[in-house]
Structure 1
């Protein structure tokens, strides 16, 4: 069976405007990266679902997303800023819980901007040991995050303890789903593993992020299928098997029902 490639982990800065101009499925589908991600918004607004809860974001919002945390954007308009993909998290003393902080003071804005600018200078300067120097700057950003967390705005999750019961359950489901979405498990299986009924799990997901438990599962599998079809040459039958579908035919029918194209035609057009 063909090995399914992982998503790349590479230290890089990407303009928020480039992220928000991506196809809708790349923007809104709940998914997770295997590297830490820091988002700094300087303009625009929208909504982001982070772990198990959906909140609005605005200018001067700083969002940290640990590896393996499911997230997705909703209704992003004219957003600007920068996304810092941190690459391999090894050796970086970063928070282990997602953070969404509203920074009201101009000194806070200047501090984060200075760190981002320093990282960008290293990555674009072409000097020896540039990535090593940039990772040291990320270490300073980690300290900055910890310092700001205690003074963050009211909509800032400070870990699971600040969330309500529905958000905590949805966050647990999202974390479990990210680890197991390639299996043949269904919503009932996930609910049993979490110690609740499928109805309770679905109700919690809808209350937290406006999606049912089944929608989150289907969207995560579909996102991975689209990624593999557009970014790799992994055979369709191997994609189907690795995403928990019983047969390639069943996968093809389910994929076509959601996208309007069978996997082979979708790959040929590279998602167009």
Structure 2
């Protein structure tokens, strides 16, 4: 008998619902332990993916593999769907992040129909719904693969600045808990701190230090809202020199102390 555990972890969530959970859950730098597909159907905003910021509009599909640092803003006029595939998803998905501008009306209709079908199967209690969901997920992965192939001739090769920032984002995601500073990250990347900061500002409009602090504070917010780990332990686990320094940094970015944030979460 086929194991449908991965399907049970599949979630399809409207973008406005994600935003309603708190802007920090979409805008702050973070990564996921599962693949995610964002399909925007209305509105516009900006998304940062691997340290590079681009605008998105309606009919943009953004695929984010596990472990890739990202964040996006979404105002009240933005609508769309977020597909969280689950950690053990066994459909074929891209290995690299993708930002696809879907211009063909047929392709736009196709993904809308697939997402509607998946949601319909998830909401039903009819026979073989798990198997039907699995097949629709397979078709969604085929749709995504074809859009990536169609986009390749138009895609410009990332320049040296964006390649460096992507490397920094990947290293930051692995080491943001370590207490390393920007000078340490720059040394690992064999560049100067000034050059790293200049490249980050060019790629996403923010210095390297802001990306690092944003990632650490997002993780702190997640731990404060989802666990009862003491504040001092959270500070230590994220590489802050002391609980007092952590509290100052947290308040500077969020406007609240860690304890006040936990009470309001």
Q: TM-score, normalised by structure 1?
A: 0.87
SS at match of 1:110: helix
Contact 2:63 2:98 in 1 (8 A): yes
SS at match of 2:240: coil
- 1:107-186 maps to which residues of 2 (within 5 A)? 107-127=106-126, 130-131=129-130, 133-152=132-151, 162-186=157-181
1:156-184 Cα shifts (integer Å, max 9, x gaps): 67xxxx21111111111111111111111
Q: CA deviation at 1:72?
A: 1.2
Matched with 1:204 is 199
1:28-53 Cα shifts (integer Å, max 9, x gaps): 21211111110111111111111132
Contact 1:64 1:98 in 2 (8 A): yes
Query: How many correspondences in the alignment?
Result: 258
Query: In 2, Cα distance between the equivalents of 1:260 and 1:58?
Result: 30
SS at match of 2:188: helix
Structure 2, unaligned stretches of length 5 or more? 1-7
1:70-119 Cα shifts (integer Å, max 9, x gaps): 11113635111211011124423210111111111111012211221221
SS at match of 1:234: coil
- Whether 1:87 and 2:86 are equivalent positions in the alignment is yes
Task: Give the superposed CA RMSD.
Answer: 2.2
Contact 2:59 2:102 in 1 (8 A): yes
Structure 1, unaligned stretches of length 5 or more? 1-8
Query: In 1, Cα distance between the equivalents of 2:184 and 2:91?
Result: 35
Matched with 2:75 is 76
Matched with 1:219 is 214
Matched with 1:189 is 184
Q: CA deviation at 1:130?
A: 4.0
Matched with 2:37 is 38
Deviation larger for 133-142 or 173-182 = 133-142
Matched with 1:3 is none
Contact 1:49 1:209 in 2 (8 A): yes
Query: In 2, Cα distance between the equivalents of 1:156 and 1:205?
Result: 21
Query: In 1, Cα distance between the equivalents of 2:155 and 2:233?
Result: 40
